[in-house]
Amino acid sequence: MSEAFDPAQAADTALDRVLRSQWDGELAVVLRSPPGAGKTGVAQRVALQSALLLSQRCMVVTQTNEQAFDLTRRLLSNARGLPIHMFAKNDLNLPGDLVGAGNLVIVNKLEDLPSEASITIGNAAKWSWIRTGETCFDVQIVDEAFQLPDYKFHQISNLAPHHVLIGDPGQIDPFVNCEIERWRCDLAGPQVSCPAALVQRHPGVLQLSLPVSRRLNADTVQLIQPAFYPDMPFSAMSRDRSIQFPVAGVMPFDAALDAVAQGASIVHVELPPQITGEADAELAQELVASIERLLLRRARMSDDGHISEVRPEDIGVVCAHVSQVNAVRERLGPSLSRVFVETANRFQGIERPFMFVHHPLSGRADATAFHLDAGRLCVMLSRHRIGCWIFGRQGVTDQLTRFAPAGNRALGIDDDPEYRGWRAHLTLMASLARAGRVFPAVHGLAASHAA
């Protein structure tokens, strides 16, 4: 009989394989990660090993300054006194906790980059300003690599001979603000994410994956993995994640809240069918009222064994459009000012114990490629640690059936992003319906709640 699968052991084995690749002198490694698998932690460990054990000059590439700040905090607390350099512009405003940090060195120019064993962090845009024909580092780590288009990777890849590209292939594709028609048939075109393009150019490159999500629980993985990662199986780390309500539910919407308390980590709340376009005032009000109801019932959560009362800062709201973000923010009173509301693009890399999702297809008369995008929906449904409520108008499944993709593909390209997104949406909706996780919204919830 085969031994029972141990998620912790599987995660440790995958990490050991990544770290060993550096000792083996691999020129390039592509590491694929499901949501919440600790890819930034892996980047941190590879960087520390490179500098402290292999005496290398290590550069770390992030996609945003916020990611650079987060990784810097992690490294400062684990670098054993090794100075951490940040390659940044002169007028960069550092967060308060990094200002004056003892081991942090700000570097603005090529001439000031360290020449000895070290770790230097900067975003891809800043690194691209370096103009030199010589290598400045021994190894380059790219965090969130699947959000970096290949043309931007080419601008910085010459800075080191060894590369470790770490990222989540199920997230939103890189944004390219120019016409890409001439490269549409090129699997390694400049608009493609740098790990995917690298594998197409060099099929023999070492490819690894992290097999366990530390953020998502087993119930969420059973929904997310088939829909968004059909070719990359992964499991959940066994954790104590739950929510309890000391105050019993007496209102119709409480059924959706209680379902999460009973173990359903993702549920769908449906409003009556209506074509609203992007902005849906009623949905925004229903969503905000449900957040108020969650807090009014004095919910208590257990997050990896830590028990506490749910606070507004434990809640996030994610939307597809800025107009939807604004509609929700306008309805949040002062007591809910710490609820984080943003678009899916800005929510990448962020997590909250509880998430409220404005379904991207809700209230629309069509189903465009933008709203069908698998990466966008995947981000929306993978930010929570405990529970997620999706809000949308009835009829999304019928809408998907009416607007099935035409199947138009570029010559030589087997992948069809529009079909992939359509399939992911349909798979998820079918799974929620089969599991009895679709709940009707209560019209006028806010008014009855106030009463």
Q: How confident is the model at residue 3 (pLDDT cuts 50, 70, 90)?
A: low
pLDDT at 437 over 90: yes
Same domain, 201 and 245: no
Give the Å distances, CA to CA, from 198 to 175, 320, 349, 441: 18, 30, 23, 47
The average confidence (pLDDT) of the chain is: 90
Residue 162 lies in a domain: yes
Structure tokens at 429: 């909706």
Same domain, 153 and 222: no
Residue 371: closest CA among 422, 438, 408:
422
Same domain, 62 and 96: yes
Same domain, 160 and 222: no
3-state secondary structure of 218: helix
Same domain, 328 and 398: yes
Same domain, 222 and 292: yes
Q: How far apart are CA 119 and CA 51, in angstroms?
A: 6
User: 65-76 and 39-48 are packed helices; what angle lies between their axes, rounded to 10 degrees?
Assistant: 60
Q: How far apart are CA 173 and CA 373, in angstroms?
A: 9
Residue 185 lies in a domain: yes
Q: How confident is the model at residue 353 (pLDDT cuts 50, 70, 90)?
A: very high
Pick the more confident residue, 57 or 365: 57
pLDDT at 145 over 70: yes
Residue 1 lies in a domain: no
Same domain, 332 and 402: yes
Q: How confident is the model at residue 445 (pLDDT cuts 50, 70, 90)?
A: very low
Same domain, 242 and 206: no
Compute the CA torsion angle 329, 215, 145, 9 (nearest 10 deg): 180
Domain termination site, one of 210, 236, 271: 210
**pLDDT for 13-44, tens place per residue?**
999 999 999 999 999 999 999 999 999 999 99
Q: Which residues pair with 268 in a beta bridge?
A: 390, 438
pLDDT at 97: 84
pLDDT at 446: 45
Expressed as residue numbers, the domain containing 385 is 218-450
Same domain, 199 and 249: no
Residue 134: closest CA among 161, 107, 103:
161
Q: How far apart are CA 319 and CA 141, in angstroms?
A: 31
Question: Are the C-beta atoms of residues 401 and 368 closer than 8 Å to each other?
Answer: no
Residue 364 lies in a domain: yes
Number of structural domains in the chain: 2
N- to C-terminal Cα distance for the chain?
Answer: 60
Same domain, 51 and 118: yes
Q: How confident is the model at residue 448 (pLDDT cuts 50, 70, 90)?
A: very low
Domain termination site, one of 210, 231, 255: 210
**pLDDT for 379-397, tens place per residue?**
999 999 999 999 999 999 9
Q: How far apart are CA 363 and CA 170, in angstroms?
A: 25
The CATH number of residue 305's host domain is 3.40.50.300
Same domain, 357 and 417: yes
Q: How confident is the model at residue 352 (pLDDT cuts 50, 70, 90)?
A: very high
Domain termination site, one of 178, 210, 242: 210
Residue 2 lies in a domain: no
Residue 319 lies in a domain: yes
pLDDT at 449: 43
pLDDT at 275 over 80: yes
- φ/ψ region of 160 (left if φ > 0, alpha if ψ in -120 to 50, else beta) reads beta
Same domain, 258 and 301: yes
Averaged pLDDT, 442-451 = 46
**pLDDT for 218-270, tens place per residue?**
999 999 999 999 999 999 987 789 999 988 877 777 999 999 999 999 999 99
pLDDT at 413: 66
Averaged pLDDT, 164-189 = 80
